[in-house]
Structure 1
Amino acid sequence: MRHTRCFALIVALCCVCCTAASAAPFIVQNGQAQADIVISDAPSRTTRLAAEELQTYLRKISGAEVAISTEPDAALPVHLYVGRSAHTDRLGVSDEGLPHDAFRVVSGDNWLVLIGDDTEFEPIEPWAHSAADRARVLAEWDAMTGEHWGTPLLSLHRRYSNYLDLWATDNRGSFNAVNEFLRGLGCRWYFPGELGEIVPSMQEIELPDVNREVHPDFPVRHLYFYYNEFWTATEKSPRNVEDAMWQCRLGLRDASHEMGYSLGHGTTMVHSRDEVKQEHPEYFALWGGTRALGHHGGGGAPCLSSEGLLEENIRLVRTLYDHYDMPMVSVAPADGYVNLCQCELCEGKGTPDRGWSGQLSDYVWSYVNRVATELYQSHPDRMVSSIAYTTYQLPPEQIEQFSPNLAIILCRWRANFYDPATRESFSELVDAWLEKLPSKRLYIWDYYLHSRPNREWEAVPVYFPHIIAEDLQSLKGKSGGEYIEVFRSYWPDGYTWDALAANHLNCYLTARLYWDADQDVDALLEEYYDLFYGPAREEMRTFIEYTEANYMNANKDIAVIDRLFELLAKAEEAAGDGIYGQRVALLTDYMQNLHQLRERLAKGREDNPTARALTRNAADLKLDGVLDEAFWEGLPPYGLKDLATGARAKQPTTFKVAWVGNALALGITCTETDMANLAIGSERDGDANIWSGDTVEVLLETQPHSYYQIAISPTGAVVSADRARGIDMLWDAQAEVAAHRGDEAWSLEVRIPITDGADPLTGVYGRVPSRTYPWYFNVCRQRLRGEETALSAFSAPTEGGFHDVLKFAQLFVP
């Protein structure tokens, strides 16, 4: 079979392979060990791990038991030196000059050295040795600093496996060297555990003639697997042990080496604790008249104009530099930070004209750069970082050059680069950031999260190998590496499918290309089809290539789903019942819920409600927010239901809809028993703070476009977004709105003009909705009172909040 021939080719042509067979001594001959594995008499834990790895796989390959010792056995003709020792020093093979877990593979007449930096990580107190250790750490931290700051070391214990005696933050240079040698013999690790490994069978293993030094193209190579940090690798959790070892075998490297322990939202360390909330409410953003003390899980959201906050942030970062020797510290704001603080100090600091991705850029990056500038005076050899994320993803316009000690971490979804325009925009964004960044320290934060349950891509096999290869090749020399969130289900968690059923290939290729971005991805794929799927190689190649070209439509197109199941069935038949069948079965199990999605798509919107927009005279519409004119008489009222249950909403909302000229008109009445405490998020058009208060949203899918979002506050303030690709807030619905607040309700009159689509940033593009070619829509309400949020919608219940497009109701003009 072809996969057997591939093994022979690998062994014959491997990059670390041998000289002529007649001349080369053997490591294993006729299944018997002709060598020993020699390590230092005081090895680091990763050196020992590397030696055990070599021993294990030589046994799996040949059956030979190659002993591990601290002195070479004179009775054996060959010696394999793993890690630095007095023996490697004598041979003149050093572990110096091998940063980022780089390595050397060097041979002599009767020896082979597999060496890299194996420095052990040594945590500095105070750090949390377990989740129960939090109180002690904070007490010691407070006593040491005199402050009530948070610390990123509260979760440090999660990076250590007691069972493996291994920190994720240990250097693993020699381990990488061992695995490079084993790859040369034909070993592969495509998926965790024995199910995912490829081990050739060989009775003879020759000593190679080799002198290689291998450095990665990307220093930071961090795949963060949900629920599978090293602390989960215990004797009672063999799957998590396999996962941890797979991460090592992929050649990954923990981001903390370059970027410290605080990667994402570092400013929360200043303000997240209750003592700070009580003593300094001015540190927190003012949204809708309330300080954001409980934002995003209780950590709060900062006011970035607060001088006290800035000064404390600077002191905190200096302390982290000095005490924990951190190379870099994040000063990015809290997660979900999408609204401008509404205090007087922050007035006018937003840039809503730049759209969703830039509306807070100057505001956030001004703060970040001020912190960095101060820290550069005291610690010019250390770095400050911030993510470029959501509303501050674009570079600021008011800062020409950043402080020399600033690094940025650009967040995006690589898998979305199937769209050439999206791919090009991010390429331009990288260059735009680098122009302003004297340090040239740019990193990527990405998301391989398509396998998350109860999300839009659940059960869809998502492969994007060529996007990965093209992107990493373009980032080589520009990016210092990546931190990627990868979904891995908690075990046991009730799920019968494996989240890596498809995503393991994306992870494997990403990891391999981190070391050499110029590799031929098609060659890597051909090898994968051969080795991983054997007799089903052609069927799985067809399946994966079809998925790669169509996954972006698989959650909305029945034809794509049917084709996926058809191709997978052929692969199942070809694979048989052995290990190849088990590998295909990973996908069979993973895709089970895709049957449910198909049923939902087939059913379509037939059970969704329908609304009729009766025709009215434009001259009769008086926009004052009060629905008392003759224009609204005779129009049927439609009511909103509780979003989650579909029951009648506790605070009723009704609307009427009409077609007037070339526009859609809506009259909306929100009953309210607590008008005195009506939550007003914003009184300004285009201000994302609108969602900090009560809102009504109109979602419209026209014949040519899916879909538009128009949010309106009780003051009549409007925020428009085109949701066809993300959140495009540069689009303007040009809606005319009037609002009225009475004693027991607030109401809106809305006129939304329809355009011909000539200007994609202006107006709703569509034709008059008819029975044959209707629109689909929803009218929704958000009501906020303190910590309570009530959501209701015309078409409810939904499975995706307001934005469940399949639940949109039908709208037509009779």
Structure 2
Amino acid sequence: MHSATELQYYLEKISGINIPVITADDQTEANHGIFIGTTPGNELSNTHTVFYKVEGENLIIGGGSSKSVLYSVYSFLENELGCMWLSPDAEIIPGSDKVSIRADLDYEYTPEIEIRTVHSKLFYENHDFADKLKVTYEAFPGYVSEARVHTFHRFMPASSFYGEYPEYYALRDGKRLTTQLCLTNPDVLEIVIDSVAAYFKRHPESGIVSVSQNDNILHCQCDDCKAIDEEEGSASGTMIRFVNQVAEQFPDKTISTLAYQYTRKPCKTRPADNVLVTLCSIECDRSKPIEQDCIDFTSDLRGWKELTDNIRIWDYTTQFTNFLAPFPNIHTLGPNIRFFRDNNARWIFEQHSNNPSELFELRSYLTAKLLWIPDSNSDDIIHEFCKAYYKEAGEYIEDYITAIHEEIVKIPDFFLFLYGDPSQGFDSFLSPEMLNYYNNLF
């Protein structure tokens, strides 16, 4: 019903005409209609597919799920009637005395990236806007809220176990440390399985728990762990073998884990079908497309592609040390998303600043658009947004974006780091001359 009332609302804004919403039982053959939802003969096997089409004298708008039906409504309004949703409080709804569509209208699209997240409060705090841009309402949809990432310490807190059972923890240089768990200890496996079961029991509405390393690189190097990692060619070997054993106990759930820092390099063991591997690009240079410049990450992602179709990318698009400072990486967003898509990433989490940052609305919009249709042209999206959102200032915003990105590429070995500092750019895109140029634009 929400999909129908949304279409009703926007058609009235466009034309001034209120079209009644009725159920299929009240529809008569004498009335032409707009049918919204899954109807007999229009069932879809892919829950993410959106479509709309003209059949005879009727318009059919449907999808593989209730969410996809809603996305189909917004796709129709955008593609066919020119609506634009730029931010939670800015939209373009063109008025018209007559709304017409082609008699041969037939649109269908299945997004290759099935779960799309932009880490922006514009979406997290405005769910209607998130729906219009076809992204999630939260960073970890479907996850148990207390078990989203870096969970070893949650399953086995050192305060509860280390004193009596130090062998449950990582061996480093002859000493047991609480940094990570010993993944070849059978008691550790049993305790983690019990913990995961308890989380699912407390949160039956959730389908995913993360079984993942703590946020440090001091993993276990006991003889048993070391032997597996050497056999597997990576420290991800002990991780995937361990996680697979956990996942075996929960065949109807998903167990997520990390390919991050010391576990990023792929192993030889295939992740189980219900294991979601989250690959993190934290080390990469942000001034160039990852495939072009971040050779190790590129190799690792391609390696994981050979092992699993269940890949989640955790990518980073901002500078954490100064969200408001210029960060010229916009030209890399499209190439990176396409690279992820081409290597089995069906879930992408783009970690932006969440809170307002440089060109916050534009970046949120652009990233969402690219996640929905990765082969879109970034320049076209930027131009359309700047013209519609910034209006008379739009051309100067575009000039600024062009200038700052042209400046950084003049230094081929520039490393734009997400934990860097604006001072990195003082001899490049933030030089006195460039700052003067930007100031003159505005």
Cα distance per residue 1:151-199 (max 9 Å; x no partner): xxxxxxxxxxxxxxxxxxxxx11210111011121122233322xx222
Contact 1:106 1:112 in 2 (8 A): yes
In the alignment, structure 1 residue 310 sits paired with structure 2 residue 310: no
Contact 1:385 1:408 in 2 (8 A): yes
Quote the Cα distance in structure 2 between the aligned partners of 1:280 and 1:207: 70
Cα distance per residue 1:718-770 (max 9 Å; x no partner): xxxxxxxxxxxxxxxxxxxxxxxxxxxxxxxxxxxxxxxxxxxxxxxxxxxxx
- Give 1:388's match in structure 2, choosing from 259, 266, 275: 259
Instruction: Classify 1:350/1:554 alpha carbon distance in 2 versus 1 (closer, same or farther; 3 Å).
Output: farther
How far 1:546 moved relative to its partner?
1.8
Matches within 5 A, 1:521-560: 521-550=378-407, 552=416, 555-558=423-426, 560=429
In the alignment, structure 1 residue 99 sits paired with structure 2 residue 47: yes
In the alignment, structure 1 residue 487 sits paired with structure 2 residue 362: no
- Give 1:174's match in structure 2, choosing from 69, 77, 86: 69
Contact 1:189 1:249 in 2 (8 A): yes
Contact 2:318 2:327 in 1 (8 A): no
Cα distance per residue 1:209-265 (max 9 Å; x no partner): 322222101112122336x785xxxxxxxxx3xx33222211114676787764422
In the alignment, structure 1 residue 198 sits paired with structure 2 residue 81: no
Aligned length: 418
Unmatched runs of 5 consecutive residues or more in structure 1? 1-46, 120-171, 231-239, 294-299, 355-359, 490-497, 573-814
Contact 2:180 2:218 in 1 (8 A): no
How far 1:411 moved relative to its partner?
0.2
1:223 partner SS:
strand
Contact 1:536 1:571 in 2 (8 A): no
Letter paired with 1:426: F
In the alignment, structure 1 residue 367 sits paired with structure 2 residue 367: no
Letter paired with 2:37: G
**Counterpart in the other structure of 2:84:** 188
Quote the Cα distance in structure 2 between the aligned partners of 1:460 and 1:311: 47
1:487 partner SS:
strand
Instruction: Classify 1:305/1:377 alpha carbon distance in 2 versus 1 (closer, same or farther; 3 Å).
Output: closer
Contact 1:313 1:371 in 2 (8 A): no
Quote the Cα distance in structure 2 between the aligned partners of 1:279 and 1:76: 79
| TM-align CA RMSD | 3.9
**Counterpart in the other structure of 1:422:** 293
**Counterpart in the other structure of 1:40:** none
How far 1:468 moved relative to its partner?
1.7
1:556 partner SS:
helix
Contact 1:305 1:345 in 2 (8 A): no
Quote the Cα distance in structure 1 between the aligned partners of 2:258 and 2:337: 19
Letter paired with 1:538: E
2:87 partner SS:
coil
How far 1:388 moved relative to its partner?
1.3
Instruction: Calculate percent identity across the aligned residue pairs.
Output: 21
How far 1:332 moved relative to its partner?
1.2
**Counterpart in the other structure of 1:13:** none
Quote the Cα distance in structure 1 between the aligned partners of 2:237 and 2:353: 34
**Counterpart in the other structure of 1:441:** 310
**Counterpart in the other structure of 1:508:** 365
Quote the Cα distance in structure 1 between the aligned partners of 2:162 and 2:13: 58
Contact 2:212 2:256 in 1 (8 A): yes
Quote the Cα distance in structure 1 between the aligned partners of 2:407 and 2:88: 27
2:359 partner SS:
helix
Instruction: Classify 1:256/1:107 alpha carbon distance in 2 versus 1 (closer, same or farther; 3 Å).
Output: farther
Bigger Rg over Cα: 1
**Counterpart in the other structure of 1:272:** 157
Instruction: Classify 1:503/1:280 alpha carbon distance in 2 versus 1 (closer, same or farther; 3 Å).
Output: farther
1:418 partner SS:
coil
How far 1:544 moved relative to its partner?
0.9
Letter paired with 2:331: H
2:17 partner SS:
coil
How far 1:312 moved relative to its partner?
1.8
Quote the Cα distance in structure 1 between the aligned partners of 2:120 and 2:173: 37
Which structure ranks higher in relative contact order (CA pairs < 8 Å, sequence separation ≥ 6)? 2
How far 1:545 moved relative to its partner?
1.4
Cα distance per residue 1:99-126 (max 9 Å; x no partner): 23x222122344323222445xxxxxxx
Instruction: Classify 1:256/1:203 alpha carbon distance in 2 versus 1 (closer, same or farther; 3 Å).
Output: same
Quote the Cα distance in structure 2 between the aligned partners of 1:369 and 1:556: 38
2:111 partner SS:
coil
Quote the Cα distance in structure 1 between the aligned partners of 2:96 and 2:285: 39
Cα distance per residue 1:637-658 (max 9 Å; x no partner): xxxxxxxxxxxxxxxxxxxxxx
2:294 partner SS:
helix
2:118 partner SS:
strand
1:113 partner SS:
strand
2:181 partner SS:
coil
In the alignment, structure 1 residue 54 sits paired with structure 2 residue 1: no
How far 1:327 moved relative to its partner?
5.3
Matches within 5 A, 1:586-605: none
- Give 1:471's match in structure 2, choosing from 297, 311, 336: 336
Instruction: Classify 1:449/1:471 alpha carbon distance in 2 versus 1 (closer, same or farther; 3 Å).
Output: closer
Unmatched runs of 5 consecutive residues or more in structure 2? 409-415
Instruction: Classify 1:284/1:423 alpha carbon distance in 2 versus 1 (closer, same or farther; 3 Å).
Output: closer
Cα distance per residue 1:5-40 (max 9 Å; x no partner): xxxxxxxxxxxxxxxxxxxxxxxxxxxxxxxxxxxx
Quote the Cα distance in structure 1 between the aligned partners of 2:224 and 2:331: 44
Quote the Cα distance in structure 1 between the aligned partners of 2:132 and 2:225: 52
